[in-house]
Amino acid sequence: MRRDGVTEPQGKLLRAWQLAVLRFAVTLDDDDRMHALGVAGEVDRLGGTADDAFRFFRRTTAELCAAISGRGADQDAVVRRFLAQIDDVRLRRAVEAAIAKDCAKDRAEDRTPPKLVASRTKPGDDLWRGLPSRRATGT
């Protein structure tokens, strides 16, 4: 058992849930949303009740998917709460980037494209300038 009270199999399942949410954030595909909900159901079953009354992860996943796809109420707060619970910095950054990519697509009309650099020098221009020539100068 780890220090925070999560056993190794539970930790792997929580990580799988977070990765499933990340995958949905990247693809916004309904199949990936259903997969994330399925993994959330497995995590909920770890709650131990036989009547399947524990639905925290399924409810949270439904809220997250709605917020990520832009249909949820209080989208920013839902996403911020999820990001705050991710311990792995790389995974948190990946989720932030996936969500920011979706937000950037929505605001693409507001941005101007970057300017191309036209004044670059070509690699062959004065490549050898300043170096002594190979010719023998006096012997």
Place 107 in a pLDDT band, splitting at 50, 70 and 90: very low
CA distance 44 to 28: 23
In a domain, 32, yes or no: yes
In a domain, 96, yes or no: yes
- Provide the whole-model pTM: 0.65
Tell me what the pLDDT averaged over the chain comes to.
78
Full domain range(s) for residue 51: 8-105
In a domain, 69, yes or no: yes
Higher-pLDDT residue of 24 and 130 is 24
Number of domains in the chain: 1
Segment 74-97 shows an average pLDDT of: 91
Q: Are 24 and 68 in contact (CB under 8 A)?
A: yes
CA distance 61 to 43: 11
Ranges 15-19, 26-30, 44-48, 95-99: which has the least confidence: 44-48
For residue 101, pLDDT over 70 is answered with no
In a domain, 121, yes or no: no
| Residue among 68, 70, 71, 69 at smallest CA distance from 81 | 68
User: Per-residue pLDDT tens for 23-38?
Assistant: 999 999 999 999 999 9
CA distance 129 to 98: 47
Q: How far is CA 85 from CA 14, 49, 92, 109, in A?
A: 11, 24, 9, 33
For residue 103, pLDDT over 60 is answered with no
In the block, residue with structure tokens 């950037």: 104
User: Per-residue pLDDT tens for 36-80?
Assistant: 999 999 988 886 665 556 788 999 999 999 999 888 678 888 999
